[in-house]
Structure 1
Amino acid sequence: MKILVTGGAGFIGSAVVHHLMSATDASVVNVDALTYAANLASLAEVAGSSRYQFEKADIRDAAALDRLFATHQPDAVMHLAAESHVDRSIDGPAAFIETNLLGTYTLLEAARRYWSALSAERKAAFRFHHISTDEVYGSLGEIGAFTEATPYSPNSPYSASKAGSDHLVNAWHHTYGLPTVISNCSNNYGPRQFPEKLIPLMILNGLEGKPLPVYGQGQNIRDWLHVEDHARALWAVLTKGQPGESYNVGGAAERRNIDIVTTVCDLLDELVPAEKPRRALITYVQDRPGHDFRYAIDASRIHGELGWQPVETFETGIRKTIQWYLDNEAWWRPLRDQVYDGGRLGTLAAR
């Protein structure tokens, strides 16, 4: 099986590539434009494999996509390429519309042209897997959880662009028959996450004694999913999911943002003691516009139909994540310096 993975040099994409290379016999074609959050260093361990190929290309480039499909003849697409940071979408929404909507449309059309010309047997086996987010559902109150039937109600430019891309994928299935599956995941964390995101930002700021900025009073709640558990779930959706269906993927680990930050502080104090407890670095900042209060995933469908369950609890996953950053400064230091030199990282706050 040959899989074309878009965005494979990003955080979740690189975890997917690592899983495909280590736990399956699939071949991987990684298609990535190498924008700011992509990092080929995340794939150094697999780069030399005969089952792995990298192609630098933009998913908005129809001619490049047609060439890639013709050259590599994939059996499936796992579409992870996206602009994904809510704060950046508020500051500059245009890139999110361009990549997440126009890019997904262009990729769908390239996949449809390719799929239409396949033999009947290969057409039936082909899959287009679109990886999305629980943020498309909007904000929850204090009870309940998102199911696959929850109406879409996105509240940020990022989530609106992902909601639009989900609808495009669904439309290409129902209108043209393209065999698509969609998955919507909760907040991911783990190794190789770009340093502007909540957990790596807190880890690295805590290590360096810098402020730990938290929006509002840190009461916003998210469900946390270890990225390696997510990669395993995506393989299950790709290989077992039914065309035209969607599957929610969650870690069953709801936490307030402030609890995430204090957990990171306490584990850092244990693993790398400092003169003062790192909780003293927590700084509350003005909340961001349209900040959804709570997300929670009902993952019973993927549990029951596809047999997937998360391996990591939040307690095991966050400890492993912190240890990974402690052991891999050579990976994050260049990114850290790059973003700080741009003057941005210190202004970002916990999501």
Structure 2
Amino acid sequence: MQRPTLADIARAAEVSTATVSHALNGTGRLGESTRRRVRATATALGYSAAATPRTRTIGVAVTTYPRAWNYTEIAYFSRAVTAATSAAHARGYALTVLPADRAADDSWHGLAVDGMLIMDSPRGDPMVHALRARGIPLVFDGAPGDPHPTDRWVDNDHVATTHEVLDHLTAAGARRIALQSGSGGEHYARVVTETYEAWCAERSLPPLVVPFDEYDDEGHAFDEVLGREVLGRIDAVHAVYDPGGRQLLAAAARHGLRVPDDLLLVCASEDPGYAETEPPVTTVTLDPERTARTAVSLLVDLIEGGRAEEAQTEVPGRVLVPAGLRPRASSRRRVMY
């Protein structure tokens, strides 16, 4: 099928070709409704910019939260982007890291990439929809919110990892474990929360999910559960996001609770600083470097029409990277003599 031209888009949108060019390139003085209408028409027609000699490029984006935030300040994403850059360069590709708010607008129509690595894609992800319409190869870090049969993604076994954490805390003496989890639309938080709730149900324990707030530096979200009477108070926490461990330490200090004597803690984080806190915090690593390298390899194979190696998995398209528990003092109760 012949690729649609700017003239085709102009006819369909009932505008000039100059207007189409301005709309797709983000230039000119166009009304926002016109710009959006032209871009939507381009997507519907399956338009992509004409190929010109340029460096082959892979794009990276995090689309979980469609707002302006610097995800490269988070240890997981920082390490993943660094590893993805190295892996892309090794295969002869440049790597472009998109700002988070790029996922909230409609500028993907003119995005000049050969393929995209999308991290934590939620349900109804507009970037995924637009790039699929353009035929751009996609690979995901974490299961996509709206998976297609041909999608490829790299992920951890969050069910097995969550069981490992909960069993680790139980073996250390925990009897009332709370989960601090997010309310975002990404697969990771959903699966960890569902696994935790099922684990509690199997033991006839009421689940207790504390909402995660990235701006809650003092851990006030824990105040209610830490302020309860002894029999109803939690004695362990599994925090699924990087800041959660420090938030819990701050909250425990405010309530006069000692970690690990009164409260055990495990936090999913790639931050090496947790080895230096007081006490050092047990962490779960999701191995972002291996995840990113694997994802880039899959993506380049898709771009170049090769066949990526299939991993042993029950889910078509999914490649698993093992997570790892790093026990430290925060989840080991001291023996009193």
TM-score by length of 1: 0.35
Bigger helix share: 1
TM-score (norm: length of structure 2): 0.36
**Which of 1 and 2 has greater Rg?**
2
